[in-house]
């Protein structure tokens, strides 16, 4: 007995009507997630760096525990993490499907990733940056803000770009739990209904989106690295 697959491709002219709202949902998810990730991941990165031996308030215990938590958060593939924290997500949002349910695991995956990137960005700085802040009589917060973060800004922007791309990717994976957005479109139409047009359109949009984010991120990093001006 042969199985025939009946493909019902959405006509091309109708694709923008499906794609644009999906893009909007993806953007909404990613923006919400990035707000949390940059804020809390940034804090994690700053604490990780400054509790290390070359930081402002070295504390081996805190550093090791935080580092272990960050590594644990980064060791789980997103799909596994998403499934593993379903009880927590349900407790927090009252649902296990849709955008709210997708945002929670995305934040949980993004914070340790961004935290480690910020930690690395701060480690790349010359040791004198913190020393300058100290000999100038700065408080911890003043040194973190106006010396460490300010000097590491290009690397942090590069980290944001990288994280943003990961979050767009995660938002697509989150489509499997009905999170909406481009991923949902690809899963429901492209995968379950064998809609090749939607699948192609999704791939094209995702590639264009990632390329645009990377291009803009790179330009911003270059501009920040050479504040005196450069031929962009």
Partner 1 sequence: MIEIDQLSKHYRAPDGRITEVLKSISLQVPQANITAVVGPSGAGKSTLAKCISLLEQPSAGSIRVNGSDLSRLDGEALRQARRSIGTVFQSSALLQRKTAWENIALPLHYLGVVDRDIAARVGELLDSVGLSHKAKAYPGQLSGGQRQRIGIARALALRPSVLLADEATSGLDPEATVTVLDLLKKLRDDYKLAIVLITHEMDAVRQAADAVAEIRDGQIVQYGVVKALLAQPDSLLGQRLFPLAAQASDAELLLQLSYRTDVPVASDWISRLSQQFGLRIDLLGAHVEQVNGLQAGRLQVGIHFQHERVPLARLLSQLEQLGLVASVAGSVLPLREAV
Chain residues that interact with partner 1, rule: CB under 8 A? 126, 128-129, 131-139, 142, 146-147, 150-151, 153, 224, 226-228
Token reading at 95? 């649902």
Closest approach, Cβ 134 to partner 1, in A, equals: 6
Nearer to partner 1, 32 or 132 (CB): 132
Closest approach, Cβ 157 to partner 1, in A, equals: 12
- Structural contact between residues 158 and 221, judged by C-beta atoms closer than 8 angstroms: yes
Q: What are the CB-based long-range contacts (under 8 Å, 24+) for 20-24?
A: 22/180, 22/181, 22/182, 22/184, 22/185, 23/181, 23/182, 23/205, 23/209
Collapsing DSSP states into helix, strand and coil, what is residue 19?
Answer: helix
Distance CA 224, CA 210 (A): 21
Closest approach, Cβ 206 to partner 1, in A, equals: 34
Nearer to partner 1, 73 or 133 (CB): 133
Closest approach, Cβ 133 to partner 1, in A, equals: 8
Nearer to partner 1, 8 or 146 (CB): 146
The H or E element containing residue 171 is: helix 150-173
Nearer to partner 1, 138 or 178 (CB): 138
Q: Which residues fall within 8 angstroms of residue 25, CB to CB, at 6 or more apart? A: 99, 179, 180, 181, 182, 184
Nearer to partner 1, 11 or 229 (CB): 229
Closest approach, Cβ 56 to partner 1, in A, equals: 11
């Amino acid at each position: 007995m042969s199985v025939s697959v009946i493909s019902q491709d959405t006509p091309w002219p109708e694709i923008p009507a499906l794609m644009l709202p999906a893009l909007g949902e993806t953007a909404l998810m990613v923006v919400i997630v990035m707000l949390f990730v940059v804020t809390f991941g940034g804090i994690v990165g700053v604490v990780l760096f400054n509790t290390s031996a070359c930081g402002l308030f070295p504390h081996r215990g805190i550093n090791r525990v935080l580092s272990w938590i960050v590594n644990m958060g980064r060791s789980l593939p997103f799909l596994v993490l998403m499934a593993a924290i379903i009880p927590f997500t349900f407790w927090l949002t009252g649902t296990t499907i849709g955008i709210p349910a997708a945002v929670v695991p995305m934040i949980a995956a993004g914070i340790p990733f961004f935290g480690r990137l910020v930690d690395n960005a701060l480690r790349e700085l010359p040791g004198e940056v913190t020393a300058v802040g100290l000999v100038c009589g700065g408080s911890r917060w003043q040194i973190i803000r106006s010396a460490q973060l300010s000097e590491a800004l290009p690397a942090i922007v590069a980290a944001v770009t990288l994280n943003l791309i990961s979050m767009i990717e995660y938002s697509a994976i989150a489509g499997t739990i009905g999170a909406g957005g481009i991923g949902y479109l690809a899963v429901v139409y492209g995968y379950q209904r064998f809609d090749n047009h939607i699948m192609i359109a999704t791939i094209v949009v995702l590639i264009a989106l990632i390329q645009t984010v990377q291009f803009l991120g790179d330009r911003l990093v270059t501009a920040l690295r050479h504040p005196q001006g450069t031929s962009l």
